[in-house]
Structure 1
Amino acid sequence: MNIIIIEDELRTAQSLENTILGLRANATITGKYQSVDRSVQALQEGSQPDLIFMDIQLADGLCFEIFKAVKISCPVIFCTAFDEYSLEAFKRNGVDYVLKPFSKEDIREALRKVDELKNFFQQKTVPDLSDLLARLGAPAGKTSFLVFKNQKYTTVQTENIAYFYVANEATHIVCFDRQAFSINQSLDQLTSSVSSKQFFRLNRQYIVNFRAIKEVEHYFLRKLLVKLVIETPDKLLVNKEKSHSFLSWMEER
């Protein structure tokens, strides 16, 4: 398997190469590139690789510019420190979306998805793309969370969580039955651990479940006001910069 790595941090690129080669003895890293321009040049001059590991924010811009300049037909595994580009990534040959700092297990799982993709098309004469995307799309995420309340540990099923929010420097879970729990994780950590198909981070304070959304209204200064099926301590506002991605997320079910 011929693989190229597009990553502007040399140390991260080397770590990624070592991890890949440690997991796949038959893999060959045919190139490592740090910028959009150099990646486009290499892809235009050479043959297509079997797989690309690609950072999103490169030295001279976002990696999505590469797709505008050259046709990429192979699967792409995105490795990035930012979670807000996941929707765009899966529109661009994305098989997996690995958040930095990645682990060996993260890369192993991403390569497993590539194998599944390959086997899927080998076994089916007419591919069922809806089935493929359902299995290889956004990560499923955690199915439950361990919480502590009234001197007891218990688990809360993720599907029962209406929203997560931060208040007074503490993170809370609120379920559809209005039960509330505190949790020792930041919203950044939660964003990367729950399904990006089911949950959306509205702002710095709230992550909401799609099932909890009752309606969305236009608000002042081109913001959106989100109303849930249960009450929230604050108004749920999405700023104008994030409103398009939020509405796209709601539409693409």
Structure 2
Amino acid sequence: MNIIIIEDELKAARSLQNIISEIKPQAKITAQLQSVESSVRYLSEQQQPDLIFMDIQLADGLCFEIFKSVKVSCPIIFCTAFDEYSLEAFKANSVDYILKPFSKNDIAEAFKKVDELKNFFQQSVMPDINSLLSQIAPPAGKKSFLVFKHNKYITIATDTIAFFYIRNEGTSIMCFDQQEYSINQSLDQVAGLLSPAQFFRLNRQYLINFSAVKEVEHYFMRKLYVKLVIPTPDKLLVNKEKSPLFLNWLENR
């Protein structure tokens, strides 16, 4: 499988290449491109790859400008910090739309979708876009969680949850009314069930609801200090590498 990466953040491109090499060691990265201009030139002059990993915002504009200049016939996996372009992405041969920061599991699931839809991509006729969206569009997010407390099963609506966090090596829910519940899923599993537009993984211990954010302050070593509308057991800090992604998440609703 020949793959090209279109990504203007070198660190993200290197991370993506490393993950691809782990998941698909037989795959070959034939090019790493950083701009609309270089992508158009490459796709116009070279044989099209089997798959493209593509960021939305490139050094010289949005990636969708590429499709105005050159026909791209291979499937595309979009990896971006912005969630507002998903519909436009799916109109451009997209097989998945992954929000940064992505994980190895995210990329593995995207490859699984490529494998499942390989028969479709061998066809020359594109299906109806609504049919494609129904098959591969990302879910809106889990609406509730079933918990057990005081010998009773209780359903907790997701929009009443301020944050999830790791406590005593287990995962706990903290609601806006400051009621706390334990669940069996790991924090990684919970993150995969939720809408990435509504919940953000601050660090290894905390996954927070957008509605719970009260204010954000600059902290030492270019970190961010996040304050929620309810108290948290720990000080919520975002490291300097993830800070731009967190600020983008706050801004791009």
Query: Normalized against structure 1, the TM-score is what?
Result: 0.61
Which residue number corresponds to residue 166 of structure 2?
166
Matched residues in 1 for 2:141 and 2:110: separation?
A: 16
Deviation at 1:102, TM superposition (A): 2.7
Whether 1:87 and 2:81 are equivalent positions in the alignment is: yes
Whether 1:36 and 2:70 are equivalent positions in the alignment is: no
CA contact (8 A) 1:165 1:207 kept: yes
Which residue number corresponds to residue 251 of structure 1?
251
Deviation at 1:182, TM superposition (A): 0.6
Matched residues in 1 for 2:140 and 2:200: separation?
A: 14
Which residue number corresponds to residue 223 of structure 2?
223
SS of the aligned residue for 1:140 comes to coil
SS of the aligned residue for 2:243 comes to helix
SS of the aligned residue for 2:109 comes to coil
Give the partner amino acid of 1:36: A
Deviation at 1:152, TM superposition (A): 2.1
Give CA deviations for 1:204-227 in whole Å, capped at 9, x if unaligned. Answer: 110100000011111122111111
Give the partner amino acid of 1:87: A
User: Which residues in structure 2 correspond to 1:89-104 (within 5 Å)?
Assistant: 94-95=89-90, 96-97=96-97, 99-102=106-109
Deviation at 1:86, TM superposition (A): 4.2
Deviation at 1:72, TM superposition (A): 3.9
Deviation at 1:151, TM superposition (A): 2.0
CA contact (8 A) 1:138 1:197 kept: no
Give the partner amino acid of 2:29: Q
Give the partner amino acid of 1:174: M
Worse-superposed segment, 190-199 or 96-105 = 96-105
SS of the aligned residue for 1:207 comes to strand
Matched residues in 1 for 2:113 and 2:31: separation?
A: 25
Structure 1, unaligned runs of 5 or more: 15-31, 56-62, 79-84, 121-131
User: Which residues in structure 2 correspond to 1:93-172 (within 5 Å)?
Assistant: 94-95=89-90, 96-97=96-97, 99-102=106-109, 118=129, 139-172=139-172
Matched residues in 2 for 1:140 and 1:166: separation?
A: 24
CA contact (8 A) 1:166 1:172 kept: yes
CA contact (8 A) 1:139 1:196 kept: no
SS of the aligned residue for 1:231 comes to coil
Whether 1:197 and 2:197 are equivalent positions in the alignment is: yes
Which residue number corresponds to residue 177 of structure 1?
177
Which residue number corresponds to residue 206 of structure 2?
206
Deviation at 1:5, TM superposition (A): 5.7
CA contact (8 A) 2:3 2:30 kept: no
SS of the aligned residue for 2:242 comes to helix
Matched residues in 2 for 1:221 and 1:194: separation?
A: 30
Deviation at 1:174, TM superposition (A): 0.7
Matched residues in 1 for 2:169 and 2:48: separation?
A: 48
Deviation at 1:163, TM superposition (A): 0.2
Deviation at 1:200, TM superposition (A): 0.5
Which residue number corresponds to residue 77 of structure 1?
77
Matched residues in 1 for 2:178 and 2:32: separation?
A: 51
The structure-2 alpha-carbon separation of the partners of 1:203 and 1:37, relative to structure 1 and needing over 3 Å to count, comes to: closer
Give CA deviations for 1:6-43 in whole Å, capped at 9, x if unaligned. Answer: 584597499xxxxxxxxxxxxxxxxx7434359x6973
Aligned-pair identity in percent equals: 47
CA contact (8 A) 1:172 1:181 kept: yes
The structure-2 alpha-carbon separation of the partners of 1:64 and 1:87, relative to structure 1 and needing over 3 Å to count, comes to: closer
The structure-2 alpha-carbon separation of the partners of 1:101 and 1:94, relative to structure 1 and needing over 3 Å to count, comes to: same
RMSD of aligned C-alpha atoms? 4.2
Matched residues in 1 for 2:244 and 2:23: separation?
A: 34
Deviation at 1:106, TM superposition (A): 5.2
